[in-house]
Chains A and B, each alone.
Chain A
Amino acid sequence: MDFSLGERAEAFRDEVRAFLDEHLTTDVVERMHATGTFNDKDFNGAMAEAGLLAGAVPGYGDRDPIELYVLFNELEKAGAPYDGLAVTMLVAGVVNAVGTDVLREAVLPRLLSGRSNCCLGYSEPDHGSDVAAITTRAVRDGDEWVVDGQKMWTTMAHEAEWVILLTRTDPDVPKHKGLTMFLVPMDTPGIEVQPVPTMASERTNATFYDGVRVHDRWRLGEVDGGWAVMGVALAFERGVMGGTNPAVPLLRHVRSWAAEAPSPDGGTMADDPLLLERTARTAMANQVSQLLTLRAAWIAATGGLPGLEGSMAKLYATERYQQAVGWFQQMAGAEGLLSFGVDGAAADGWIDYDGRHSPVTTIYGGTTEINRNNVAERHLGLPRAR
């Protein structure tokens, strides 16, 4: 085994780091938390101009899944806004893989400029984990489709140019077989976006579709072939586009805080035996999370489909992140409750932030329970329990 990234990926990592050193300013980070939108078009545009985006689009660029992992891992570790970029890269990959030439030409250059975004229109108010059961209807009318329904958790919809929209085109067949995917321009009449504030700093949205007329050229994949397109999107994502190292910035912030914070027992918090133990356990879990994610990337890079390995990485990483947040939130006590910008806030408010953000990580992008079902059924070979 060889755990070095290799010359090519290391050179790319150094490019990404150099970019972040220059462009990830305090302003960018503060703006992201103030707006609740983890998407910064200027930042994304600068990344595109630096040549870091197009090559890493899965299936399109000349960079492999390990380099895609490197890109998102560096963004995540640095605490950069990358939610919008992740969707951009994912949708660019899907459009490239299953879109028509017309669609590719209309969409890819704009997505790859970093200045246009997409949002994900999968979940609905009544259909989350059971996403194949969605009910948003698309009915054919000549060269057009008429879409009616509602989507939930359409994060970034308020500044996206497109929504990748999963619709039901045949309600009379088993649920997986009557779905069709579209890429719908968000300025199409009949689309309404309503903000959904969250307990953390991030904002998401509900989107409403009322008689929205979409030309057939915006269809992705076959009619009633939407589930296969979902499969393409999931295969590209493979758990390597961020989300498995959230405890790296947490640990960095906690260590900086502990080195300065006086302990009621004398010395600083960095001398506290329990803090020392938990620091080491978090550093260890961060390494394991990185290795499980790298394994998924490596399997993808060598021609495999690491769906289960991605599930394992997400299960492990998100539960350990939540555990670490709980530990450090307790240990920071009253000052740990104080928010960004408050004088005396432990770790400048990052502990409060992680405490607010961490609950969603075992929910979005495949819940812990869905991932456990995957591992139980497809890895351990246990009977289907649903």
Chain B
Amino acid sequence: MDLNLTEDQETIREVFAAFFDGETGPERARAAEPIGFDTAAWDRLLETGAPAMGVPEAAGGGGASLADLAVVAAEAGARIAPLPLVDHAVAARLLADLGDPSACDDGILAGTTIVGLAVRPAVDGVARVVPSGAVAHRVVALDGDRLVLDRPESAGAPDGPGAGHLPNHGCLPLAHRDLAGAEVLATGPDAVAAHARAVDEWRTLTAATLVGIARTSVDLGVAYVMEREQFGRPVGSFQAVQHLLADLPGLVDGAHLLAAKAAWAGDRASAGIDGVLDVDHNDVTDFPALAAMALVAAGEAATIASDRSLHVHGGYGFSEEYDVQLYYRRARALAYVLDDPARECRRLARMLPAPGAGRGAA
């Protein structure tokens, strides 16, 4: 057991914290609205090699683990970086995993070609509300039992960043992608499994992003209640206000630990180590189950933290001028863009072995 980041991860965390501090943040996120993409920041990010960081070395990438990527995602989330980093990382790993070296090409490795992931299966040949659909040059999608790649030259692809953008709650680069003419990468159960694995990685890294959003939401709320005075003293000195905020660190840290555990389980699954799924004894190391739990827990942490933080800002929290509303809207957008968390929970419950299948106990 070791709950510290590795030395390498600590370095990664520091480097990306500094990068996102310099190149992103609330002001840049505001400027990137409504599309939710900062071209200049993405160009600078390419210089760091981040787009290929999670691709295996054999495929020309940096060989970073899912746990490493989660560290980066949390730092990006903390500064609501308007960059399709998670989608690109997950889709690039999926393409690299297919075994065809041409699928994850130099443009994708460099990040000059942005690749996104349609996290929900296509309906009637259209991938609807794709998280990075308005900025991705290519999108990997599941259409029936076919894993397909929507490329710029195929019908329905956007003409450039922002094309087809669907104005939305979180100012994410959402767009529908018509898959007519998309290239078929794989078919059958392997295709479905590859997509499911990629979506579990997306769940894990989006959970990490949401943890970052939650953490900054708490910080914004605490800073505001220390500065704002009413009745002659800081509103943060009132116990009613304190107790709204005091529930949050455990909620956020719990979601952080769960997202980190999901990433750890994902890396173990990649290494061929089987996980356990025994909720009757609270023994869970199964990656798909932990990925689902992490997304639900982090979505809840981010929505509750941003809600309470906005509330303790009083009317100012509702105004566009204050940053907390940026976090509030992105928390909900990222928590719900895959699915209703309740349905995600029912999907998880259906994964569970029948009661009594685990170790025996009263």
Contacts and interface: CB of A to CB of B under 8 A. Distances in A.
Interface in B213-262: 218, 222, 225-226, 233-234, 236-239, 242-243, 245-247, 249-251, 253-255, 257-258, 260-261
B355 A372 contact: no
A255 B285 CA distance: 20
Interface string A273-287: 100111111011011
A201 interface: no
B12 interface: no
Nearest to A254: B355
Name the residue among A6, A277, A311 with the largest chain B CB count within 10 angstroms. Answer: A277
Interface in A328-386: 369, 371-373, 375-377, 379-383, 385-386
A383 B236 contact: yes
B41 interface: no
B99 interface: no
Contact of B346 (A280, A287, A294, A381): A280
Contacts of B359: 17
B347 to A, nearest CB: 8
Contacts of B284: 283, 287
Contact of B237 (A9, A288, A382): A382
A279 B352 contact: yes
B356 interface: yes
A130 to B, nearest CB: 15
B243 A24 contact: no
A251 interface: yes
A373 B242 contact: yes
Nearest to B221: A380
A278 B296 CA distance: 12
A3 B242 contact: no
A251 B293 CA distance: 16
Contacts of A132: none
A380 B234 contact: no
A292 B356 contact: no
B301 to A, nearest CB: 9
A59 interface: no
Interface stretch (A40-48, A120-128, A312-320): A312-320
A21 interface: yes
Interface string A255-284: 110110000000000000100111111011
B246 A66 contact: no
B2 A383 contact: no
Contact of A382 (B236, B280, B361): B236
B345 A380 contact: no
A230 B284 CA distance: 36
B258 A291 contact: yes
Contact of A281 (B3, B234, B238, B345): B345
A288 B255 contact: yes
A77 interface: yes
Nearest to A73: B282
B355 A292 contact: no
B281 A248 contact: yes
Name the residue among B225, B247, B258 with the largest chain A CB count within 10 angstroms. Answer: B247
Nearest to B351: A280
Interface size of B as a range:
35 or more
Contacts of A17: 359
Interface size of A as a range:
35 or more
B354 interface: yes
A74 to B, nearest CB: 9
Contacts of B251: 316
B102 interface: no
Contacts of A379: 246, 249
Contacts of A385: 237-239, 242
A286 B282 contact: yes
B360 A283 contact: no
A298 B3 contact: yes
Nearest to B346: A276
A50 B4 CA distance: 34
A294 B87 CA distance: 31
Given A1-B2, A20-B361, A273-B346, A288 B247 contact: no
B245 A376 contact: yes
A3 B285 contact: yes
Nearest to A64: B1
Nearest to B296: A284
B1 A294 contact: yes
B327 interface: no
Nearest to B295: A284
Contact of A77 (B3, B282, B346, B354): B282
A1 B352 CA distance: 26
Given A2-B264, A29-B362, A316-B250, A288 B258 contact: yes
B346 A315 contact: no
A283 B352 contact: yes
Given A252-B361, A385-B238, A277 B249 contact: no
A78 interface: yes
A252 B280 contact: yes
Contact of B362 (A78, A248, A371): A78
A370 B23 CA distance: 41
Contacts of B242: 372-373, 376-377, 380, 382, 385
Interface of B: 1-6, 67, 218, 222, 225-226, 233-234, 236-239, 242-243, 245-247, 249-251, 253-255, 257-258, 260-261, 264-265, 279-282, 284-285, 290, 292-293, 296-297, 342, 345-346, 348-350, 352, 354-356, 359-362
Give me the 10 closest cross-chain CB pairs, A-B, nearest first. A312-B250, A280-B345, A372-B246, A288-B254, A291-B257, A376-B242, A276-B349, A255-B355, A283-B279, A383-B237
Given A279-B279, A312-B249, A316-B251, 13 more contacts: A3-B265, A24-B362, A248-B280, A273-B346, A276-B345, A277-B345, A283-B349, A287-B284, A294-B3, A298-B3, A315-B246, A316-B254, A386-B239
20 contacts: A1-B2, A5-B1, A24-B362, A26-B362, A66-B1, A248-B280, A276-B346, A279-B352, A280-B292, A283-B349, A287-B282, A291-B261, A294-B3, A312-B253, A315-B247, A316-B250, A316-B254, A382-B226, A382-B236, A382-B237
Interface of A: 1-6, 9, 17, 20-21, 24, 26, 29, 66, 77-79, 245, 248, 251-252, 255-256, 258-259, 273, 276-281, 283-284, 286-292, 294-295, 298, 309, 311-313, 315-316, 369, 371-373, 375-377, 379-383, 385-386
